[in-house]
Amino acid sequence: MAASARAIMAFPAPEVRQTVAARDAILYALSVGYGMEPLDEAHLRRTQERDLLPAPTLANVVAHPGPWLQDAGIDWQRLVHAEHRLTIHRPIPIDTPLLSRSRMTAIVDRGPEKGMFATFERTIVTLADEAPVATIAQTNACRGDGGCGSAGTPPGPLASVPARAPDALFAIAVPQDAALLYRLNGDLNPLHSDPAYAARAGFPRPILHGLCTFGYAGYAIGRTAGSGALADVGFIAARFTAPVLPGDGLEFDIWRQGQEIGFRARVPARGVTVLDFGTARLA
């Protein structure tokens, strides 16, 4: 029996503390594309300790509360990431204690056969003075939890990408071991590593973490928008429309108007769009 929307909304998400070390930031950067040009100084700024500049989307994995929605009664095996929005207030500080708090903001019930959407907000602050570092709004498609009722206020719709031809195209090959590397950032969901578990969830093989694809998007935008360096985003959001498989070739269509960016990601070999309604703003 599905958990009720009221019970899910009221479930106390855990607070999490983390002090990010240089090694954490470097591991994350290497798992989302930074370092693919190891002689480029801009890449080295993200992947070695000297003058380390953390990747902006690192905030997604910092002080993460883990699979707490499973504890709230949601069918974890049938949950997939639907949309994600990240606002970066300041770069993740290294060797500084951080605190993350999460709270449910919306349940949108689609019916017993269709599942529901669950959105929660996570804020990351410095532990000492609660200075804001990042705000994250994550929407999950909970395919096994329809019929629970609706509650809260869902986020507004993401904007469509422009109808015109993109201003830039950026291609990147996802390594075969990408999911096995990315999971070391803390997301140990076996959907991304265990073939038998992935099959029971309805996938032909383990799929790439949605937030790994999202991290590649941040890298692709930075690579195309930077002039000699890797630009940082201050805001980035997208809808997950199909899973990426390790080994896929990703192509990003990118539109730019000043500091505003539109984007989507495709896997041409499989004829699928994996990220859509992408929007970002340069820091």
In the prediction, which pLDDT does 2 show? 64
Res. 240 pLDDT band, cuts 50 70 90 = very high
The amino acid at residue 264 is R
pLDDT tens by residue, 81-130: 999 999 999 999 999 999 999 999 999 999 988 999 999 999 999 999 99
In the prediction, which pLDDT does 77 show? 78
Q: Catalytic site residue 276?
A: no
In the prediction, which pLDDT does 216 show? 98
Q: By CB neighbour count within 10 A (0-12 exposed, 13-18 middle, 19+ buried), where does 111 fall?
A: exposed
- Top mean pLDDT of 145-149, 185-189, 268-272 is at 268-272
pLDDT tens by residue, 207-231: 999 999 999 999 999 999 977 789 9
Do the beta carbons of residue 192 and residue 207 sit within 8 Å?
A: yes
In the prediction, which pLDDT does 229 show? 83
pLDDT tens by residue, 5-42: 999 999 999 999 999 999 999 999 999 999 999 999 99
Res. 182 pLDDT band, cuts 50 70 90 = very high
Active-site residue, from 187, 232, 248, 276: 187
Mean pLDDT of 170-192: 96
Do the beta carbons of residue 185 and residue 55 sit within 8 Å?
A: no
Q: Which of 203, 60, 72 is nearest to 137 (CA)?
A: 60
The 3 state secondary structure assigned to the chain is: CCCCHHHHHHCCCCCEEEECCHHHHHHHHHHCCCCCCCCCHHHHHHHCCCCCCCCHHHHHHCCCCCCHHHHCCCCHHHEEEEEEEEEECCCCCCCCEEEEEEEEEEEEECCCCCCEEEEEEEEEEECCCCCEEEEEEEEEEECCCCCCCCEECCCCCCCCCCCCCCCEEEEEECCCCHHHHHHHHCCCCHHHCCHHHHHHCCCCCCCCCHHHHHHHHHHHHHHHHCCCCCCCEEEEEEEECCCCCCCCEEEEEEEEECCEEEEEEEEHHHCEEEEEEEEEEEC
Q: Catalytic site residue 192?
A: yes
Taking the C-alpha atoms of residue 41 and residue 229, their distance in angstroms, rounded to an integer, is: 8
Is the pLDDT confidence value at 165 over 60? Answer: yes
For the chain, what percent of residues have pLDDT higher than 70?
99
Is the pLDDT confidence value at 1 over 70? Answer: no
Active-site residue, from 43, 192, 209, 276: 192
Res. 135 pLDDT band, cuts 50 70 90 = very high
